Amino acid sequence: MPRIAIPLITKALSFESRQAVTAPEGTFTYKRLLESSARAAARILDGRSDLAEARVAFLIPPGLDYTAVMWGVWRAGGVAVPMALSHPRPELEYVIEDARASILVAHPDLIARLAPVAGEKGLPLIGTGEALAAEPGALPEVDASRRAMMVYTSGTTSRPKGVVTTHEQIAAQISSLVQAWGWTPDDHILNVLPMHHLHGILNILSCALWSGALCEFMPEFEAGAVWRRMARGGLTLFMAVPTIYVRLIAAWEAMPEAERRRMSEAAARLRLMVSGSAALPVSVLEKWREITGHVLLERYGMTEIGMALSNPLDGRRAPGTVGRPLPGVRVRLVDEGGDPAGEGSPGQIQVKGPNVFLEYWRRPEATAESFTPDGWFRTGDVGRVEDGYYRILGRESVDILKTGGYKVSALEIEEVLRDHPSIAECAVVGVPDPEWGQRVGAALILKPGSSLALEDLRAWGKERLAPYKVPSLLSLPDHLPRNAMGKVTKPDVVRLFEQPPDRRSGS
């Protein structure tokens, strides 16, 4: 066997007899994961000696197959490109095209969704059953400095960008969290998050596997099922977005009193619960503490940097803040002139360290613009430091929304809405919401003689956009607010949704 320089897989060699992944199809050891990933690598290589950073896009539900294929891509020398199960064909096709993927992999239940794209583009499409049953073969030596993963995230442009990280950068992101949050081989975490998003891929699955711990997948989030799983015992960690905690609270409140007590006692037995990917309302934090005794640990990160800030595992957790820099991560605030922002003063959050991503795929100008001349990554978020703890104030750009833990480009949604036969003009904004962080609001100017209800807009949008990008609020003003240059003023659009609901609707 060749020397393995991929840190995450090297770690797994020390835990072969331990349980690694559990999902509806069963529970599997690290040894089984290593064997399955070696088989997947051999099938993906298909006689080649090394993928040499070729991109492999895959559409696979959470579980052993997902994990083995991702590791298999790495072991074959490729770049893993996870795709969202919820995305319609246009969005899947965009990722495949933009990544210039040369190989597609899909679960048997999902092959039909990728087959037309594979056929049109002449790409090989491999089923996971075929991949995991392949005969193992010679694998290349993969240096940790190679590109490893490409996760798509919305930016200030109208379409998502591929954020590229190397094996070294992934290892830096993981090891920082493992140290800060006290991961051990005895940990057992429940994963209910989508696996095309860094929260599920890195903070949960990869941290667990780095530590020799067990990651248990729940295919879809359902509040009652999560409570019942907690009640069965054995879990030590749980991580989610604020929207999930809101739904868990609602489910708990609907239970009989005796059931509430049982569920609260079960949750209290976990050692750590974390919230991230969106701002956590203090009211939700306080209610969760009342129900479970846990003060949710809030942290801050993004696809480009992994995690950068975190409240402490031990010690005071300040509600409404995201704590202090994580081990190995440097963070600073700068004002509009590029000078350091003082204590209590707002400034742009900038990050530096071995955790920071390599590049935006095939976007050298966007990559260069995202860094300062001295190498600090410009996050585009504004924060301030209060008593040593960072508080996030919001995005510099109003065109980036955060809804239910997802980062969404308003410009991308507007581009799709303009194709609707009834829409003449549109503006998409994030409307503050205690459950979702922000809801996607669409202010529309309709073509003469046209009408459009929210339900019809959503049905049309779901065929073209991921579910979390589809507007859930609609406003039909007489005109869109604009400045003297004719540009739509987004803060004024947000205020349209604060008007009496005679010309707006929501669901």
Beta bridge partners of 429: 441
Q: For residue range 214-248, what is the model confidence (pLDDT) as tens digits? A: 999 998 999 999 999 999 999 999 999 988 999 99
Contact 322, 391 (CB under 8 A): yes
Q: For residue range 106-140, what is the model confidence (pLDDT) as tens digits? A: 999 999 999 999 999 999 999 999 999 999 999 99
pLDDT of residue 395: 77
The H-or-E segment that residue 38 falls in is: helix 30-45
pLDDT of residue 1: 44
pLDDT of residue 156: 46
Which residue, among 201, 204, 296, has the nearest Cα to 246 in the 3D structure?
296
Domain range 182-295, its CATH number among 3.40.50.980, 3.40.980.10, 3.40.190.10, 3.30.70.380:
3.40.50.980
Q: Do domains 7-143 and 182-295 have the same CATH topology?
A: yes
Percent of the chain whose predicted confidence (pLDDT) is above 90 = 84
Beta carbons within 8 Å of 306's beta carbon, 6+ residues apart: 169, 170, 172, 173, 174, 176, 177, 198, 202, 355
Beta carbons within 8 Å of 194's beta carbon, 6+ residues apart: 84, 85, 86, 200
Which residue, among 323, 334, 343, 412, has the nearest Cα to 377 in the 3D structure?
334
Regions of the chain with pLDDT less than 50: 1-2, 156, 485, 501-503
The H-or-E segment that residue 12 falls in is: helix 7-12
What kind of architecture, by CATH, is found in domain 7-143?
3-Layer(aba) Sandwich (3.40)
Domain ranges of the chain: 7-143, 182-295, 400-506
Q: What is the dihedral of CA 172, 173, 179, 181, to 10 degrees?
A: 180
Q: 400-506 belongs to which CATH class?
A: alpha beta
pLDDT of residue 484: 53
- The DSSP string of 382-446 is EEEEETTEEEEEEESSTTEEEETTEEEEHHHHHHHHTTSTTEEEEEEEEEEETTTEEEEEEEEEE
pLDDT of residue 301: 96
